[in-house]
Amino acid sequence: MTFSIFLPEQLATGADVKLPVLYWLSGLTCTDENFVQKAGAQRLASELGLIIVCPDTSPRGDEVPDDEDGAYDFGLGAGFYVNATEEPWAKYYNMYDYVVEELPEIVARNFPIDIKKQSIFGHSMGGHGALTIALKNPEKYHSVSAFAPICSPMNCAWGTKALKKYLGEDESTWSDYDSVELVKNATRPIPMLVDQGSADEFLKQQLKPELLVEACNRAGMPLGFNQRDGYDHSYFFISSFIENHLRFHHGILSMLV
């Protein structure tokens, strides 16, 4: 697995410091490079002293099976951050375990990470990944944020296609990867920030943030939700508000001892 990592400038001094880390999860069709090239996060991340790790969005390689029609929304580039249980996906499509377990260990072994100061964020399918992973592991991630996340994959075409293929027909297994369902059953609050563009072409059919807002309101989950008028689903939207998200996570991580 390939991943990108941004190391802030202060590490270049050779000082023996460990820094907090943000994990960025990208959306459909992306790799470990989209955020690095387009989000414009580095300047402020360097100033705030935040390491940012960007994994790929699916397993890769000649042996890894892909959608039989090569569709963009399943298979390669579309791992949906689950552990697949169905064949032929179960062997390689374990992005949940990779992001939660394997990747932090690799990062901590090789870079000056403060493993006790982790947060997670993402975009679209990666927003879904960030929210579900944080909600399932509130002891590991101190805050979570998302741009235009798929809020309830059980209730949209992208999500049901992927969950059915990765997890099988039994929908009771899907709720374990659905942010709205996880919020309903959450036992511990985790600070959440979501930005959503009003001109996002996927807003009504695929993203459905109103379901997340309602679930958080009912569950008392601390969600900051910003509707951004006129913004679409692109990385231009992300780069416009990335600084808010970095400051949100930094504010929380910097309070930890």
Give the catalytic positions in this structure: 124, 200, 233
Q: Does 199 bind its own copies (CB under 8 A)?
A: no
Q: Does 244 bind its own copies (CB under 8 A)?
A: no
Structure tokens at 39: 């989000």
Contact of 21 with 117, CB cutoff 8 Å: yes
Stretch that binds its own copies, among 98-106, 149-157, 218-226, 232-240 (CB under 8 A): 232-240
Please identify which residue in 10, 43, 169, 204 interacts with its own copies, judged by CB under 8 A: 43
Residue among 85, 155, 160, 240 that touches its own copies (CB under 8 A): 240
Q: How many CB atoms lie within 10 A of CB 27?
A: 26
Task: List the alpha helices (DSSP H) in 49-194.
Answer: 95-97, 103-110, 125-136, 157-167, 179-184
In the chain, the amino acid numbered 177 is Y
Give least dist CB 70 to its own copies, A: 24
Q: Which is nearer to its own copies, 9 or 105 (CB)?
A: 9
Cα end-to-end span (Å), the chain = 32
Q: Please compute, for residue 257, the number of CA atoms within 13 A of its CA located in the half-sphere on the CB side.
A: 0
Beta carbon of residue 43, minimum distance to its own copies (angstroms, whole number)? 8
Q: In this complex, which beta carbon is closest to its own copies, that of residue 185 or of residue 226?
A: 226
Tell me, by CB under 8 A, how many residues bind its own copies: 9
Shortest separation between residue 40's beta carbon and its own copies, angstroms: 4
Q: Which is nearer to its own copies, 166 or 241 (CB)?
A: 241
Q: Specify the stretch interacting with its own copies by CB under 8 A; choose among 40-48, 68-76, 108-116, 170-178.
A: 40-48
Q: Does 38 bind its own copies (CB under 8 A)?
A: yes
**Which of 4, 85, 239, 244 is the binder for its own copies (CB under 8 A)?**
239
**Distance in angstroms (rounded) separating the CA atoms of residues 129 and 151:** 10
Beta strand pairing call for 192-197 and 144-147: parallel
| Burial degree of 230 (CB within 10 A; 0-12, 13-18, 19+) | exposed
42 binds its own copies (CB under 8 A): yes
Q: Which two tokens stand for residue 144?
A: 């979570």
Interaction of residue 164 with its own copies, rule CB under 8 A: no
Name which of 46 and 175 has its Cβ closer to its own copies.
46
Query: CA nearest 243: which of 193, 198, 197, 207?
Result: 193
Of 7, 40, 65, 154, the one binding its own copies (CB under 8 A) is 40
Q: List the structure tokens of 9.
A: 């400038």
- Nearest-angstrom CA–CA distance, 128 and 156: 12
Residues of this chain that bind its own copies (CB under 8 A): 37-38, 40, 42-43, 235-236, 239-240
